[in-house]
Structures are given as C-alpha cells and as structure tokens.
Amino acid sequence: FTLRGRKGKVQYRPTCHYAYHPCNDAVLSLHEMFGAAGKAQSVHHVLDENELVDGVDELGVLLYGHDKNAYWYGSQLSLAEARKLAP
C-alpha cells in the first residue's frame, strides 16, 4: 500500500511485518533439527484432531503511527470455537 503524489514521488508507505509462532512442540523440534546441523529427525508424526488439546489462531493487522496510537483489527479463533463451528 503505497501512496504517491502527482509527480510519482512516494508520499506514504507503511511498514509491513508478518509474524507467526508455531506451537511449543514444533519450536522444540526445530531447535532439535538445527542443533543437528539441519538434519531432519528420522521419525515424523503429524497430529490428528483428537491429539489437539488447545490453541488459538489469530489473524489481523496492528495499525499504529496515528493519533489513536495503535489499533488491532482482526480475528481470534480458539480450537473450542472451531470445533463448535465444524464438528
């Protein structure tokens, strides 16, 4: 999202940042892999829906740098809410 003036000069260009944090077990698995010089573990396991106990997905945007200081606009969906919506 870039705003340009009449002569094409950039007037405004926001800073964009994407952040993602996987579950703790996934982070530990990555530490283990990189501690082994990037060699992947020999055994892989993908969790099925019955093994999931808790969690939240968040997607949104944090707008800041304006008179209101900061504003979060987005959604949060817990595992419990997802199971109610799609049993």
> What would the pLDDT profile of 63-87 be if each residue is shown by its tens digit?
887 677 888 899 999 999 999 999 8
86 or 1: which leads in pLDDT: 86
Closest CA to 55 of 31, 19, 25, 30: 25
CA angle 29, 45, 43 (to 5 degrees): 75
Average the pLDDT over each of 20-24, 31-35, 80-84 and give the range with the smallest value.
20-24
Mean pLDDT for all residues in the chain? 89
pLDDT at 17 over 90: no
The domain limits of the chain are 3-85
